[in-house]
Amino acid sequence: MNAITRLPFLAELEEGADDRFHIPEREGQRRRYRTIWISDIHLGTRGCNAAMLIDFLDNVDSDTIYLVGDIIDGWRLKRRFYWPASHNDVVWRLMKRAKRGTRVVYIPGNHDEMFRQFTGMSFGGVEIRRKAIHTTADGRKLLVLHGDEFDTIMLAHRWLAFVGDAAYTTLMRLNVVVNAVRQKMGLPYWSLSKMAKHKVKNAVSFISRFEEVVAHEAGTRGVDGVVCGHIHNAEMREIDGIDYYNDGDWVEGCTALVEHDDGRMEVLHWADEIAKREEREQDVRARMAA
Ligand SMILES: [Mn+2]
């Protein structure tokens, strides 16, 4: 709990600060969605891709946003305090959204389980819940939870053990270095561990088994689908008549799940969205120069 009380945004909230942006919010038009789900941000760790998330938050808006757990990594913070200004910027952006009227629902995960004790309470308009039921525009009921609830069922923790492992941490650091070099060379963002995940057979079978377990469990609870995070693998697919959605992570995948106004769901890969935007901007510049 000590690491948590040292978080600067908590002191600023007590002071009644309005917002304390290090990187100013981008002005202008935003893409609107009915609902946005993001999770596994792991603020307080070096692996967290706060810059990409800030770009995402400054370019989208929604009626509701669900924070599906592992937003702040309390485990890591306890061992080593790490809190750059950009991580504060993410928190303030989320708080500001709640203030502007977006419904913000925060469902703590296993890395931020210290916030679970506040279940049922609201802070600055952010509702803290253990789980939620979301009704889509086309009338489907979706169970929203982090996903660590299934760790006990998933006796083989292979992928998760890997996520908490030194090898994974090294891979994440390497990911940062590789992408810094790629950016200097003008190359787009590239996910090292995404490739690794697809190469490691155990990880792949773990992921599909997790998805099946979660979908099956949702089925027994009488909902049409389920939205979770936890395994850092964005996905949307139907499993035995249940819609399974995973919003991925902001460590390396940089993905969000969104619901359009008609209930249509989509996984956004933000690195791809940035690449598309830059291409459009280049086109405009080229046309203006011609
Ligand atoms: Mn988790």
CATH number for 197: 3.60.21.10
Ligand 1 center to residue 274 CA distance, Å? Answer: 26
- In this prediction, residues 74-97 reach a mean pLDDT of 92
Residue 287 lies in a domain: no
Give the range of the structural domain holding residue 46, as residue numbers without chain letter: 2-271
Query: pLDDT tens digits, residue range 163-222?
Result: 555 666 777 777 788 888 888 878 888 776 666 666 665 667 778 888 999 999 999 999
Residue 219 domain-assigned?
yes
pLDDT given for residue 141 in this prediction: 98
49 found inside a domain: yes
For residues 176 and 182, give the distance between their C-alpha atoms in angstroms, rounded to a whole number.
10
Cα 232 to ligand 1 centroid, rounded to whole Å: 8
Q: What is the mean pLDDT of the chain?
A: 89
pTM score = 0.85
**From 18-27, 124-133, 156-165, 213-222, the region with the lowest mean pLDDT:** 156-165
Assess if residue 276 is contained within a domain: no
Spacing, Cα 257 to ligand 1 middle (Å): 17
Q: Is residue 290 part of a domain?
A: no
| Residue 81 maps to a domain | yes
How many domains does the structure of the chain reveal?
1
Task: Tell me, in angstroms, the distance from the centre of ligand 1 to residue 147's CA.
Answer: 7
The model's pLDDT over 232-265, given as tens digits with 9 standing for 90+, comes to 999 999 999 999 999 999 998 999 999 999 999 9
Ligand 1 centre distance from Cα of residue 36 (Å): 18
Q: Is the pLDDT reported for residue 283 higher than 80?
A: yes
* Span from the CA of 28 to the centroid of ligand 1 (angstroms): 34
